[in-house]
Amino acid sequence: MSVTFAPHDEAFRQDVRSFIAENYPAELRVANPETDLTKEQSLLWHRILFRAGRLAPHWPKEYGGPGWTTVQQYIWDQETALAGTLPPLAFSVTMVGPVIYTFGNAVQKARFLPRILSGDDWWCQGYSEREAGSDLASLKCKAVRDGDHYIVNGHKIWTTLAQHADWIFCLVRTDVSAKPQRGISFLLIDMTTPGITVRPIITIDGSHEINEIFFEDVRVPAENLIGEENKGWDYAKFLLGNERTSMAGTGHARRALAELKSVAAQERAGGAPLLADADFARQVARTEIDLAALEFTELRMISALSAGRDPGAGASLLKIRGTEVRQRIAELTHRAIGSYGMVLRHELALGHNEPAPGPDYGHTATERYLNTRKLSIYGGSNEIQRNIIAKAVLGL
């Protein structure tokens, strides 16, 4: 297998690097972009990419994608991640956009797609409920048809960045008597509709990233139904496949690994750099080998996709291994920093007489470590991905 890229792809890579260097706003380089930036700041890069026609690499050209090949899309994803740029909002661009252009009608495409690209609409994902996470098909949030509206009642939870959202795409139950998967519909709901309440959930790292949402007699125009009533499960699965494929995060892992090595070269153990400690170096090397193996697996899938083959349950494999590697890098970085990594920024913000002890890179280590716990839970937990592989690949 050859892993060299064609000269025109290498030229594309150089173009991507120059574009990022010339256009990425410095103000977006903060410790935790998901929670340290305002809504407007979060959209800055999104809008720059939109104006440059580089926003939605995976979208077909007719809907506003740049018309790149699968390899160019891969290079774009790698280079933007390696450069540490803020990804465009996944719920809009990676998740609901493809559902709308694949299953939506002409009116829905014309109404929603341009506003996703321009960043005028911020979307959030209303799948999970208290008793419906891994067992998503048991969801209870109900939509009852009333003339040309649906009346929605129920509750969603773990809704990422719903505090900024203009719209939510929701899985709702429209037939309580059918088998669980058969009675679900995919509904687009305007977050300003009366009857919607968003309540923050503060996570273990002290950040406000996720929310609970309550729906009380919320009137939703029936024209906001995607595809057919009670066929929502098919659209939901299509979306989850896209979500998982985008979760390998190898570019992010490469960047984090370089940071880990830099920290371990500065920190000392027994009078020498920690990176020279045989046991620590072995663990870093082990992680780097796993990452390299994952990168090759990803390239194999890119190659299959380029040839028009569906990677199938491969999305689950990428999700499991990608998130495990990223969590291990976060753990090793935290260990490398040692007790200085115990500082919590949100506690520092409460006011202290003394500056925080230890190097600056230590002040976000605990937050990052805690925040990366989520990677193996969201998008369908890693245990569930293993079940999918057991069934779909191993036939167990």
Strands (E), the chain: 123-126, 142-146, 149-157, 167-173, 184-190, 196-202, 208-221, 225-226, 268-269, 272-273
What residues pair up with 265 in beta bridges, in sequence order? Answer: none
Query: Closest CB to ligand FAD among 19 and 158?
Result: 158
At its nearest, how many Å lie between ligand FAD and the CB of residue 60?
25
**Among positions 158, 167, 280, 369, the unique one binding ligand FAD when judged by CB under 6 A:** 158
- Start-to-end CA distance of the chain, whole Å, equals 31
384 binds ligand FAD, rule: CB under 6 A: yes
Query: Closest CB to ligand FAD among 248 and 337?
Result: 248
35 binds ligand FAD, rule: CB under 6 A: no
User: What does each C-alpha distance from 248 to 3, 304, 318, 343 come to in angstroms?
Assistant: 18, 16, 5, 29
94 binds ligand FAD, rule: CB under 6 A: no
Query: Closest CB to ligand FAD among 193 and 381?
Result: 381
377 binds ligand FAD, rule: CB under 6 A: yes
Binding part of the chain for ligand FAD, among 95-103, 180-188, 260-268, 374-382 by CB under 6 A, reads: 374-382
Query: Closest CB to ligand FAD among 265 and 393?
Result: 393
Contact call for residues 270 and 298 (beta carbons, < 8 A) = no
At its nearest, how many Å lie between ligand FAD and the CB of residue 123?
10
Binding part of the chain for ligand FAD, among 33-41, 50-58, 156-164, 238-246 by CB under 6 A, reads: 156-164
Cβ neighbours for 111, distance < 8 A, ≥ 6 positions apart: none
Residues 111-150 close enough to bind ligand FAD by CB under 6 A: 124-128, 133-134
At its nearest, how many Å lie between ligand FAD and the CB of residue 162?
7
At its nearest, how many Å lie between ligand FAD and the CB of residue 127?
3
Q: Which of 237, 125, 240, 144 is nearest to 189 (CA)?
A: 125
At its nearest, how many Å lie between ligand FAD and the CB of residue 171?
8
Query: Closest CB to ligand FAD among 54 and 368?
Result: 368
**Among positions 159, 246, 333, 364, the unique one binding ligand FAD when judged by CB under 6 A:** 159
Binding part of the chain for ligand FAD, among 7-15, 48-56, 284-292, 378-386 by CB under 6 A, reads: 378-386
92 binds ligand FAD, rule: CB under 6 A: no
DSSP letters spanning 100-145? HHHHS-HHHHHHHHHHHHHTSS-EEEE--BTTBSTTGGG---EEEE
Query: Closest CB to ligand FAD among 14 and 134?
Result: 134
Cβ neighbours for 105, distance < 8 A, ≥ 6 positions apart: none
At its nearest, how many Å lie between ligand FAD and the CB of residue 154?
13
Residues 170-189 close enough to bind ligand FAD by CB under 6 A: none
Kindly report the length of the chain. 396
Q: Rounded distance, CA 162 to CA 152, Å?
A: 17
Q: Which residue has the CB atom at the shortest distance from ligand FAD?
A: 133
Per-residue DSSP letter, 273: E
Structure tokens at 334: 């935290």
CA torsion angle 54 59 62 65 (round to 10):
0
Pairing of strands 167-173, 123-126: parallel
Number of residues counted as binding ligand FAD (CB under 6 A): 19
DSSP letters spanning 211-225? EEEEEEEEEEEGGGE
Residues 6-25 close enough to bind ligand FAD by CB under 6 A: none
**Contacts to ligand FAD by CB under 6 A:** 124-128, 133-134, 158-160, 210, 374, 377-378, 380-381, 383-384, 387
